[in-house]
Amino acid sequence: MASGSASARAPQVQDENPSCNDVASFKAADIVVQLCENRKPKPESENLPFGTVFTDHMLLIEWSREGGWEKPRIQPFGNLSLHPACAALHYGVQLFEGMKAYRGQDDRVRLFRPMLNMKRMLKSAHRACLPSFDAAELLECIRKLVEVDQDWVPHSESASLYIRPAFLGTESKLGVMVSSHALLFVVLSPVGFYFSTGNNSVSLWADSKYIRAWKGGTGDCKMGGNYGASIVAQCEAMKFGCQQVLWLYGDDHQITEVGTMNLFLYWINEEGEEELATPPLDGIILPGITRQSILELARKWGEFKVSERYLTMAELRLAVEQKRVREMFGSGTACVVSRVGRVLYQGENLQIPCGDESNSLVSRLLKELTDIQYGRTESDWTFLV
């Protein structure tokens, strides 16, 4: 019978990982709000170091295998209390997200394509064997949290409110197992804008000594372990006088990502075509929402070839030599786009052109994306809080 093997397999998968499967989601309508008595003073938003100041409230949602999801709570910002055997602390049963709320000149607060963050978070949760939830319900809970702390969204088009959801396995036994308890929480932090124009291009250390992600691993999920393990490489890059790591993969030294950003190369390719290229989502690349948005914008413009393709260091070195590279940049929520000015590879400095300041692709992308984020351009990519 055709259905035999399929139906024999499905229950087996469920048994292995009971908490991944359809559980009734928490509901935003059930939120319990407890407001703090004293609001903290707001800092000057322009020169805030990233992620150092937090708002007055946070969102917490607990789950257990026996009880399912509890009611979401918005409560005063404060420390968590965790059992010392907590799975997140020992085995990295953990994941996070990163998104921002932007206040436009019209004083309205917007999120940028937030459902994509919710869906990516669900994918990471599945990889960590943490329970599922309804993406739209979580987005509504986050919207409500931002609304409660809306005075913290900077009144500036060069700053924003960073939104950090995190999800922890809180199993309080030392065995490596699917967590029977979990905690999803969201904190908010006002941040200044990282301008990627002018001379502040980044220098990169390209070396195959450390590998960020590998096939079958977790590089395509925002799981904490990927980042904790990358710090040593970042330190080594700085010893070599570089600011960030250019992550390579495989014997052919494929270019994958830069620091915690996706990577784009705007060049004349081997065929002589003008091309904007970024590595394909083959499991070792984090599926960035800025990456996706840049690809969609550039494809809509239709002015040059836009490719998701492999790029190697040999190809980059040759292109730099033959002056075929126009611009190279990283992309991510924190900075939108960030120019690469130099790559140190096998003892050689590859100088990357930065394009004409006003006419560059980086400047154009930065403008188009921030125009949408701050509501200067109408777009169905924005979500009003």
By the criterion CB under 6 A, which residues form the site for ligand PLP? 98, 222, 257, 260-262, 286, 288-291, 331-333
Length of the chain: 385
Cβ partners under 8 Å of residue 118, min gap 6: 97, 135, 136, 138, 139
Q: Which is nearer to ligand PLP, 100 or 103 (CB)?
A: 100
Least distance (Å) from ligand PLP to the CB of residue 230?
A: 8
Nearer residue to ligand PLP within complex by CB, 148 or 340: 340
Sign (positive or negative) of CA dihedral 275, 276, 278, 282: negative
CB 97 to ligand PLP: min, Å = 8
CB of 162: closest distance to ligand PLP in angstroms?
11
Q: Which is nearer to ligand PLP, 331 or 370 (CB)?
A: 331
Least distance CB 83 / ligand PLP (angstroms): 28
Q: Are 222 and 95 in contact (CB under 8 A)?
A: yes
CB of 218 to ligand PLP, least distance (A): 11
Residues 188, 375: Cα–Cα separation, whole Å: 21
Nearer CB in complex with ligand PLP: 257/368: 257
For residue 32, list its beta bridge partners. Answer: 73
Phi, psi of 354 (to 5 degrees): -105, 5
Choose between 129 and 289: whose C-beta lies nearer to ligand PLP.
289
* Cβ neighbours of residue 220 closer than 8 Å, sequence gap 6 or more: 213, 281, 283, 284, 285, 286, 287
Which of helix, strand or coil describes residue 184? Answer: strand
The residue at minimum Cβ distance from ligand PLP is 288
The two three-digit tokens of residue 303, written as one number: 């002015």
The CA-atom distances, in angstroms, between 348 and each of 261, 313, 343 are 23, 12, 8
Q: Are 329 and 302 in contact (CB under 8 A)?
A: no
* Residue 262 or 363 having the CB closest to ligand PLP: 262
CB of 334 to ligand PLP, least distance (A): 7
Tell me how far, at minimum, the Cβ of 279 lies from ligand PLP, in Å: 11
- Residue 61 or 263: the one with the smaller Cβ distance to ligand PLP is 263
Contact (CB, 8 A) for 153 and 161: yes
Question: What phi, psi does 335 have (nearest 5°)?
Answer: -120, 0
The distance of closest approach from Cβ of residue 287 to ligand PLP in the complex, given in angstroms and rounded to an integer, is 8
Residue 192 β-bridge partners: 159
The residue (of 201 and 290) whose beta carbon lies closer to ligand PLP is 290
